[in-house]
Amino acid sequence: MKKYNVAVVGAGVVGIEMLRVLKQRNFPINRLKVFARSARDIEVDGEIYPVEPISPEGFNGIDIALFAGTEGEKGAAVTYAAEAVKRGAVVIDNGADFRMDPKVPLVVPEVNGNDVKKHKGIIANPNCSTIQMVVALWPIHKKVGIKRIIVTTLQASSGAGKGAVEQLKEENSIIAAAGFNSVYAKIEKLSMPQQLAYNVFPHIGGFAESDYTSEEWKLVKETHKIMHDNKIKISATTVRVPVRTGHSESVYIETAKPITPAKVRALLAKAPGIIIMDDPKSNLYPMPRDAEGKDETFVGRIRRDCFVKNGLWLWVVADNLRKGAATNAVQIAECVISK
Protein backbone atom coordinates (compact mmCIF):
# COMPACT_ATOMS: atom_id res chain seq x y z
CA MET A 1 0.00 0.00 0.00
CA LYS A 2 1.27 3.44 -0.91
CA LYS A 3 1.95 5.72 2.06
CA TYR A 4 1.65 9.48 2.16
CA ASN A 5 3.36 12.42 3.78
CA VAL A 6 0.70 14.19 5.85
CA ALA A 7 0.62 17.54 7.62
CA VAL A 8 -1.87 18.60 10.29
CA VAL A 9 -2.11 22.37 10.64
CA GLY A 10 -3.37 23.38 14.07
CA ALA A 11 -2.80 22.00 17.55
CA GLY A 12 -6.14 22.96 19.12
CA VAL A 13 -9.10 20.69 19.81
CA VAL A 14 -9.75 19.88 16.13
CA GLY A 15 -6.07 19.42 15.26
CA ILE A 16 -5.66 17.03 18.17
CA GLU A 17 -8.75 15.12 17.06
CA MET A 18 -7.33 14.91 13.53
CA LEU A 19 -4.19 13.25 14.89
CA ARG A 20 -6.31 10.83 16.88
CA VAL A 21 -8.55 9.96 13.90
CA LEU A 22 -5.61 9.47 11.52
CA LYS A 23 -4.17 6.91 13.92
CA GLN A 24 -7.45 5.18 14.73
CA ARG A 25 -8.41 4.82 11.05
CA ASN A 26 -4.92 3.56 10.15
CA PHE A 27 -4.43 6.20 7.48
CA PRO A 28 -1.40 5.14 5.39
CA ILE A 29 1.15 7.66 6.67
CA ASN A 30 4.79 7.70 5.67
CA ARG A 31 5.75 10.91 7.45
CA LEU A 32 3.61 13.14 9.68
CA LYS A 33 4.16 16.79 10.51
CA VAL A 34 2.19 19.03 12.88
CA PHE A 35 2.27 22.79 12.32
CA ALA A 36 1.14 25.67 14.52
CA ARG A 37 2.21 29.25 15.05
CA SER A 38 4.86 28.28 17.61
CA ALA A 39 6.99 25.23 18.30
CA ARG A 40 6.13 22.92 21.20
CA ASP A 41 5.28 19.31 21.96
CA ILE A 42 1.73 18.06 22.39
CA GLU A 43 0.57 14.75 23.84
CA VAL A 44 -2.34 12.85 22.32
CA ASP A 45 -3.38 9.55 23.92
CA GLY A 46 0.07 9.04 25.40
CA GLU A 47 1.98 9.82 22.20
CA ILE A 48 4.15 12.91 21.86
CA TYR A 49 3.90 14.94 18.66
CA PRO A 50 6.50 17.67 17.99
CA VAL A 51 4.85 20.84 16.66
CA GLU A 52 6.80 22.92 14.14
CA PRO A 53 6.26 26.61 13.41
CA ILE A 54 4.26 26.87 10.20
CA SER A 55 6.08 28.10 7.11
CA PRO A 56 5.69 27.74 3.34
CA GLU A 57 8.83 25.60 3.18
CA GLY A 58 7.40 23.20 5.74
CA PHE A 59 5.00 21.86 3.09
CA ASN A 60 7.81 20.65 0.83
CA GLY A 61 7.18 16.98 0.13
CA ILE A 62 3.74 16.95 1.79
CA ASP A 63 1.05 15.01 -0.08
CA ILE A 64 -2.01 15.87 2.07
CA ALA A 65 -2.39 18.88 4.38
CA LEU A 66 -5.27 18.88 6.87
CA PHE A 67 -6.00 22.40 8.11
CA ALA A 68 -7.88 22.31 11.44
CA GLY A 69 -9.15 25.85 10.98
CA THR A 70 -9.83 26.60 14.63
CA GLU A 71 -8.55 28.70 17.53
CA GLY A 72 -5.09 30.18 16.92
CA GLU A 73 -4.94 28.71 13.44
CA LYS A 74 -7.75 30.87 12.04
CA GLY A 75 -6.54 32.39 8.83
CA ALA A 76 -3.77 29.80 8.36
CA ALA A 77 -5.49 28.32 5.33
CA VAL A 78 -5.78 31.71 3.64
CA THR A 79 -2.08 32.34 4.24
CA TYR A 80 -0.63 28.89 3.59
CA ALA A 81 -3.07 26.77 1.54
CA ALA A 82 -1.83 28.13 -1.78
CA GLU A 83 1.76 27.55 -0.66
CA ALA A 84 0.96 23.94 0.22
CA VAL A 85 -0.80 23.37 -3.13
CA LYS A 86 2.11 24.98 -5.00
CA ARG A 87 4.39 22.40 -3.39
CA GLY A 88 2.21 19.50 -4.50
CA ALA A 89 -0.10 18.95 -1.51
CA VAL A 90 -3.85 18.45 -1.56
CA VAL A 91 -5.30 20.79 1.07
CA ILE A 92 -8.37 19.73 3.08
CA ASP A 93 -9.54 22.77 5.01
CA ASN A 94 -11.85 22.61 8.01
CA GLY A 95 -12.33 26.37 8.13
CA ALA A 96 -14.92 28.50 6.37
CA ASP A 97 -12.59 30.33 3.99
CA PHE A 98 -13.12 28.16 0.90
CA ARG A 99 -16.50 26.50 1.51
CA MET A 100 -18.53 28.67 -0.82
CA ASP A 101 -15.83 29.13 -3.44
CA PRO A 102 -17.39 27.69 -6.63
CA LYS A 103 -13.98 26.27 -7.64
CA VAL A 104 -13.59 24.33 -4.36
CA PRO A 105 -15.54 21.11 -3.69
CA LEU A 106 -17.42 21.02 -0.38
CA VAL A 107 -17.53 17.36 0.56
CA VAL A 108 -19.29 14.94 2.89
CA PRO A 109 -18.11 11.52 1.66
CA GLU A 110 -21.41 9.73 2.36
CA VAL A 111 -23.22 12.34 0.25
CA ASN A 112 -20.99 13.70 -2.52
CA GLY A 113 -17.68 11.88 -2.23
CA ASN A 114 -17.20 11.92 -6.00
CA ASP A 115 -16.89 15.70 -5.87
CA VAL A 116 -13.28 15.27 -4.68
CA LYS A 117 -12.41 14.53 -8.32
CA LYS A 118 -13.17 18.17 -9.15
CA HIS A 119 -10.57 19.63 -6.80
CA LYS A 120 -7.84 21.96 -8.01
CA GLY A 121 -5.70 21.47 -4.93
CA ILE A 122 -8.16 22.48 -2.20
CA ILE A 123 -11.17 20.64 -0.77
CA ALA A 124 -13.38 22.22 1.89
CA ASN A 125 -14.75 20.44 4.95
CA PRO A 126 -18.30 21.69 5.75
CA ASN A 127 -19.51 23.18 9.00
CA CYS A 128 -20.12 20.64 11.78
CA SER A 129 -23.88 21.19 12.02
CA THR A 130 -24.27 20.89 8.25
CA ILE A 131 -22.34 17.61 8.05
CA GLN A 132 -24.53 15.59 10.40
CA MET A 133 -27.74 16.99 8.92
CA VAL A 134 -26.90 16.13 5.31
CA VAL A 135 -25.67 12.65 6.28
CA ALA A 136 -29.12 11.97 7.78
CA LEU A 137 -31.14 13.64 5.02
CA TRP A 138 -29.31 12.60 1.86
CA PRO A 139 -30.76 9.04 1.65
CA ILE A 140 -34.27 10.50 2.04
CA HIS A 141 -33.63 13.17 -0.58
CA LYS A 142 -32.36 10.57 -3.06
CA LYS A 143 -35.41 8.38 -2.48
CA VAL A 144 -38.34 10.81 -2.39
CA GLY A 145 -36.92 14.33 -2.65
CA ILE A 146 -36.93 17.01 0.08
CA LYS A 147 -38.73 20.29 -0.55
CA ARG A 148 -38.27 22.00 2.80
CA ILE A 149 -36.03 21.78 5.88
CA ILE A 150 -36.59 23.54 9.21
CA VAL A 151 -33.81 22.82 11.68
CA THR A 152 -32.99 23.87 15.22
CA THR A 153 -29.50 22.94 16.34
CA LEU A 154 -28.42 22.43 19.96
CA GLN A 155 -24.67 22.86 19.74
CA ALA A 156 -22.06 21.92 22.32
CA SER A 157 -19.45 24.25 23.78
CA SER A 158 -16.58 22.45 22.03
CA GLY A 159 -17.95 23.73 18.74
CA ALA A 160 -16.69 27.15 19.82
CA GLY A 161 -13.22 25.88 20.72
CA LYS A 162 -11.18 25.09 23.82
CA GLY A 163 -11.86 28.48 25.42
CA ALA A 164 -15.61 27.89 25.32
CA VAL A 165 -15.22 24.48 26.98
CA GLU A 166 -13.13 26.09 29.72
CA GLN A 167 -15.73 28.85 30.13
CA LEU A 168 -18.50 26.27 30.68
CA LYS A 169 -16.34 24.36 33.17
CA GLU A 170 -15.47 27.52 35.13
CA GLU A 171 -19.08 28.72 35.21
CA ASN A 172 -20.27 25.35 36.49
CA SER A 173 -17.62 25.43 39.24
CA ILE A 174 -18.63 28.94 40.35
CA ILE A 175 -22.32 28.03 40.57
CA ALA A 176 -21.60 24.77 42.39
CA ALA A 177 -19.32 26.57 44.89
CA ALA A 178 -22.14 28.99 45.62
CA GLY A 179 -24.35 26.07 46.61
CA PHE A 180 -26.59 26.60 43.55
CA ASN A 181 -28.15 29.61 45.25
CA SER A 182 -27.75 31.50 42.00
CA VAL A 183 -27.58 30.51 38.35
CA TYR A 184 -25.35 33.47 37.53
CA ALA A 185 -21.61 32.99 37.14
CA LYS A 186 -19.54 36.08 36.40
CA ILE A 187 -16.12 35.33 34.94
CA GLU A 188 -13.53 37.69 33.53
CA LYS A 189 -13.00 36.15 30.11
CA LEU A 190 -15.95 35.13 27.97
CA SER A 191 -15.25 33.01 24.91
CA MET A 192 -18.95 32.93 24.09
CA PRO A 193 -21.33 35.90 23.91
CA GLN A 194 -23.35 34.77 26.94
CA GLN A 195 -23.02 32.63 30.05
CA LEU A 196 -23.57 29.00 29.08
CA ALA A 197 -23.76 27.13 32.37
CA TYR A 198 -27.43 26.56 33.33
CA ASN A 199 -28.40 28.53 30.25
CA VAL A 200 -28.96 28.29 26.49
CA PHE A 201 -28.82 31.08 23.92
CA PRO A 202 -29.73 31.28 20.22
CA HIS A 203 -26.55 32.99 19.05
CA ILE A 204 -23.82 31.14 17.15
CA GLY A 205 -21.75 33.26 14.80
CA GLY A 206 -22.47 36.88 14.01
CA PHE A 207 -25.88 38.20 13.09
CA ALA A 208 -26.20 38.62 9.34
CA GLU A 209 -28.80 38.95 6.58
CA SER A 210 -32.45 39.02 7.74
CA ASP A 211 -31.25 38.67 11.36
CA TYR A 212 -30.14 35.07 10.85
CA THR A 213 -26.68 34.25 12.22
CA SER A 214 -23.75 33.22 10.04
CA GLU A 215 -24.06 29.69 11.46
CA GLU A 216 -27.68 29.57 10.33
CA TRP A 217 -26.79 30.71 6.83
CA LYS A 218 -24.09 28.03 6.67
CA LEU A 219 -26.77 25.38 7.08
CA VAL A 220 -28.64 26.87 4.15
CA LYS A 221 -25.86 27.59 1.69
CA GLU A 222 -23.66 24.58 2.46
CA THR A 223 -26.57 22.13 2.22
CA HIS A 224 -27.51 23.53 -1.18
CA LYS A 225 -23.94 23.12 -2.42
CA ILE A 226 -23.33 19.63 -1.01
CA MET A 227 -26.66 18.21 -2.17
CA HIS A 228 -26.47 20.01 -5.54
CA ASP A 229 -29.95 21.40 -5.07
CA ASN A 230 -30.53 25.08 -4.27
CA LYS A 231 -34.29 24.73 -4.58
CA ILE A 232 -34.66 23.18 -1.13
CA LYS A 233 -36.23 25.73 1.23
CA ILE A 234 -34.13 25.79 4.41
CA SER A 235 -34.61 27.77 7.61
CA ALA A 236 -32.43 27.36 10.70
CA THR A 237 -32.07 28.43 14.31
CA THR A 238 -28.75 27.64 15.99
CA VAL A 239 -28.59 27.38 19.78
CA ARG A 240 -25.63 26.94 22.14
CA VAL A 241 -26.31 24.50 24.98
CA PRO A 242 -24.34 23.54 28.13
CA VAL A 243 -22.95 20.29 26.69
CA ARG A 244 -19.23 19.57 26.35
CA THR A 245 -19.22 17.70 23.02
CA GLY A 246 -21.93 16.49 20.65
CA HIS A 247 -24.36 18.53 18.58
CA SER A 248 -28.06 17.66 18.49
CA GLU A 249 -30.53 18.78 15.83
CA SER A 250 -34.29 18.81 15.64
CA VAL A 251 -34.95 18.50 11.90
CA TYR A 252 -38.31 18.93 10.18
CA ILE A 253 -38.63 18.03 6.50
CA GLU A 254 -41.33 18.09 3.85
CA THR A 255 -40.76 15.51 1.15
CA ALA A 256 -41.78 15.70 -2.51
CA LYS A 257 -43.27 12.19 -2.36
CA PRO A 258 -44.85 10.51 0.67
CA ILE A 259 -42.75 8.14 2.78
CA THR A 260 -43.62 6.52 6.10
CA PRO A 261 -41.48 6.74 9.24
CA ALA A 262 -40.97 2.97 9.05
CA LYS A 263 -39.56 3.27 5.54
CA VAL A 264 -37.32 6.14 6.62
CA ARG A 265 -35.94 4.01 9.45
CA ALA A 266 -35.27 1.12 7.07
CA LEU A 267 -33.67 3.46 4.53
CA LEU A 268 -31.38 5.15 7.04
CA ALA A 269 -30.46 1.85 8.72
CA LYS A 270 -28.86 0.74 5.45
CA ALA A 271 -27.14 4.08 4.75
CA PRO A 272 -23.40 4.49 5.40
CA GLY A 273 -22.36 6.33 8.55
CA ILE A 274 -25.79 6.26 10.24
CA ILE A 275 -26.94 4.46 13.39
CA ILE A 276 -30.67 4.35 14.15
CA MET A 277 -31.65 4.72 17.81
CA ASP A 278 -35.43 4.95 17.70
CA ASP A 279 -37.52 2.99 20.19
CA PRO A 280 -39.85 5.38 22.06
CA LYS A 281 -41.34 2.57 24.17
CA SER A 282 -37.89 1.95 25.65
CA ASN A 283 -36.98 5.67 25.88
CA LEU A 284 -34.31 5.04 23.26
CA TYR A 285 -33.12 8.01 21.21
CA PRO A 286 -29.73 9.59 20.48
CA MET A 287 -28.04 11.84 23.03
CA PRO A 288 -24.73 13.72 22.90
CA ARG A 289 -23.14 11.36 25.43
CA ASP A 290 -23.90 8.46 23.06
CA ALA A 291 -22.16 10.17 20.14
CA GLU A 292 -19.05 11.49 21.90
CA GLY A 293 -15.94 9.79 20.59
CA LYS A 294 -17.80 8.10 17.73
CA ASP A 295 -17.76 8.74 13.99
CA GLU A 296 -21.33 7.87 13.09
CA THR A 297 -24.39 10.11 12.86
CA PHE A 298 -27.19 8.94 15.17
CA VAL A 299 -30.84 9.36 14.20
CA GLY A 300 -34.05 8.83 16.19
CA ARG A 301 -37.49 10.28 17.02
CA ILE A 302 -38.53 9.67 13.40
CA ARG A 303 -42.21 10.54 13.19
CA ARG A 304 -44.71 12.07 10.83
CA ASP A 305 -46.34 15.46 11.08
CA CYS A 306 -49.97 14.77 12.01
CA PHE A 307 -51.15 17.85 10.09
CA VAL A 308 -48.95 17.95 6.99
CA LYS A 309 -49.16 15.05 4.54
CA ASN A 310 -45.46 14.78 3.68
CA GLY A 311 -44.05 16.27 6.89
CA LEU A 312 -41.56 14.34 9.02
CA TRP A 313 -39.47 14.99 12.13
CA LEU A 314 -36.03 13.57 12.88
CA TRP A 315 -33.64 13.95 15.81
CA VAL A 316 -29.98 13.90 14.70
CA VAL A 317 -26.89 13.72 16.95
CA ALA A 318 -23.15 13.53 16.18
CA ASP A 319 -19.77 14.28 17.74
CA ASN A 320 -18.97 17.72 16.36
CA LEU A 321 -15.21 17.28 16.79
CA ARG A 322 -15.15 13.95 14.99
CA LYS A 323 -17.77 13.52 12.25
CA GLY A 324 -18.40 17.26 12.40
CA ALA A 325 -14.73 18.09 11.77
CA ALA A 326 -11.75 15.74 12.08
CA THR A 327 -13.27 12.46 10.92
CA ASN A 328 -14.98 14.01 7.90
CA ALA A 329 -11.68 15.64 6.90
CA VAL A 330 -9.81 12.34 7.16
CA GLN A 331 -12.60 10.60 5.23
CA ILE A 332 -12.12 13.19 2.48
CA ALA A 333 -8.41 12.34 2.48
CA GLU A 334 -9.36 8.67 2.14
CA CYS A 335 -11.52 9.56 -0.85
CA VAL A 336 -8.63 11.46 -2.40
CA ILE A 337 -6.17 8.58 -2.19
CA SER A 338 -8.78 6.03 -3.31
CA LYS A 339 -9.73 8.03 -6.41
**pLDDT digits over 69-89, tens only?**
844 345 678 889 999 999 999
Q: What is the pLDDT of residue 72?
A: 38
Helix (H) or strand (E) holding 300: strand 297-304
Torsion (CA) 171, 177, 182, 188 in degrees, nearest 10: -40
- Do residues 281 and 195 make contact, with C-beta atoms less than 8 angstroms apart? no
Q: pTM value?
A: 0.95
Q: Across the beta sheet with 311-318, what order do the strands follow?
A: 233-240, 146-155, 247-255, 311-318, 297-304, 274-276
Distance between CA atoms of residues 230 and 224, nearest Å = 5
Superfamily in which the 130-156+200-320 domain is placed by CATH: Dihydrodipicolinate Reductase; domain 2 (3.30.360.10)
For residue 48, the 8-state DSSP code is E
- Do residues 70 and 127 make contact, with C-beta atoms less than 8 angstroms apart? no
* Residue 330 scores a pLDDT above 90: yes
The answer to whether 247 is a known catalytic residue is yes
In 3D, which of 98, 101, 102 has the Cα closest to residue 81? 98
Superfamily in which the 4-126+325-338 domain is placed by CATH: NAD(P)-binding Rossmann-like Domain (3.40.50.720)
- Please give the backbone phi and psi of residue 140, each rounded to the nearest 5 degrees, phi first: -70, -45
Tell me the per-residue pLDDT of 250-292, one tens digit each, with 9 for 90 and over: 999 999 999 999 999 999 999 999 999 999 999 999 999 999 9
CATH 3.40.50.720 domain locations along the chain: 4-126+325-338
Q: What is the pLDDT of residue 78?
A: 84
Distance between CA atoms of residues 286 and 243, nearest Å = 14
Question: Residues 128, 141, 306, 335: which is the catalytic one?
Answer: 128
Q: What is the pLDDT of residue 71?
A: 40
Per cent of the chain over pLDDT 90 is 94
Tell me the per-residue pLDDT of 103-159, one tens digit each, with 9 for 90 and over: 999 999 999 999 999 999 999 999 999 999 999 999 999 999 999 999 999 999 999
CATH 3.30.360.10 domain locations along the chain: 130-156+200-320
Give the torsion sign (CA, 308, 203, 106, 293). negative
Q: In degrees, to the nearest 5, what angle opens at C-alpha 281 toward C-alphas 275 and 282?
A: 60
The answer to whether 128 is a known catalytic residue is yes
Count other C-beta atoms under 10 Å from residue 278's C-beta.
21
Residue 299: burial class (beta carbons within 10 Å; 0-12, 13-18, 19+): buried
Distance between CA atoms of residues 196 and 186, nearest Å = 11
Q: What is the pLDDT of residue 311?
A: 98
pLDDT (mean) for 45-68 = 97
